Amino acid sequence: MAKNRFHDGDGPSQRQLRVGELIRRTLSDVLMRGDIHDPDLNRMSITVGEVRTSPDLKVATVYVCPLGGQGQDEVIGLLARNKSELRRAVSKQLTLKFAPDLRFRIDETFDRMDETRRMFAQETVRRDVEE
């Protein structure tokens, strides 16, 4: 039985990283150009921060953030509603054996960065770091 590298703590393979980045770029371009036939989705500005693929490349988890962080639930709903059209756009651009199933999640990276900055700005933490 083949080892599942993604779940063994080794992290994603080079292929997973490469395909994830290609999917990220493709989705970013499609959303930026407004290629999807949904006016509600096209009026929103959405950042695709990261795409993580499963080891077999059949599932792609897409981490997104609406501009300004407002309307997160609406963005996830709109992307889910247009998932098949987005999947077709990815499939058309990439030469993969299977078009991956797209799953959309809110990218919380920016929130964590803000929290980290806030923590480091605290006097007690700054004092501990400088010592």
3-12, 35-44, 69-78, 85-94: least confident range: 3-12
Q: Decide which of 113 and 75 is more confident.
A: 75
**Section 114-129 average pLDDT:** 69
**What residue ranges define each of the domains in the chain, with the CATH number in brackets?**
5-130 (3.30.300.20)
Taking alpha carbons only, the member of 89, 100, 92, 26 closest to residue 57 is: 100
CA distance 72 to 39: 17
Segment 30-80, tens digit of pLDDT:
999 999 999 999 999 999 999 999 999 999 999 999 987 778 899 999 999
User: What's the confidence (pLDDT) of residue 109?
Assistant: 74
User: What's the confidence (pLDDT) of residue 40?
Assistant: 92
